[in-house]
Amino acid sequence: MLVSSAATTQSWCAAGFEGSENQTNQDAAVAAMALGAKTVGIGARPHGRASEDDIVAAAISVILAALFAIIVVAAAAVLTMG
């Protein structure tokens, strides 16, 4: 685990991580800068919890994708039976 110092704090501010609560992003930013990166392309965007509607929509999407895959496999099997 990387330890913050005055130098890394200044680097985090320059990289846009000032006040970030996500330690992983800060560690990745410091590691990237240590490897010689001039800019760090890590987005530190807070994500809220998924609502019930989002979960239902994702479940329906997964079910439809699985159903489509089964239909495609069945159609391929029927078409190759000749």
Give the tens place of pLDDT for each residue, 12-24: 555 555 555 566 6
pLDDT for 3 beyond 90? no
Range of the domain at 35: 1-47
The model's pTM is 0.43
Q: Do both 34 and 61 map to the same domain?
A: no
Domain count for the chain: 2
Residues sharing a CB contact under 8 Å with residue 25, sequence separation 6 or more, in sequence order: 17, 42, 44
Residues sharing a CB contact under 8 Å with residue 31, sequence separation 6 or more, in sequence order: 2
Q: Do both 1 and 32 map to the same domain?
A: yes
CA-based nearest residue to 29, from 49, 48, 7: 7
CA-based nearest residue to 43, from 63, 59, 28, 64: 28
Rounded distance between C-alpha atoms, residue 72 and residue 78, angstroms: 10
Confidence of residue 67 (pLDDT cuts 50, 70, 90): very high
14-65 confidence digits (pLDDT tens): 555 555 556 666 777 677 666 666 665 656 666 788 899 999 999 999 999 9
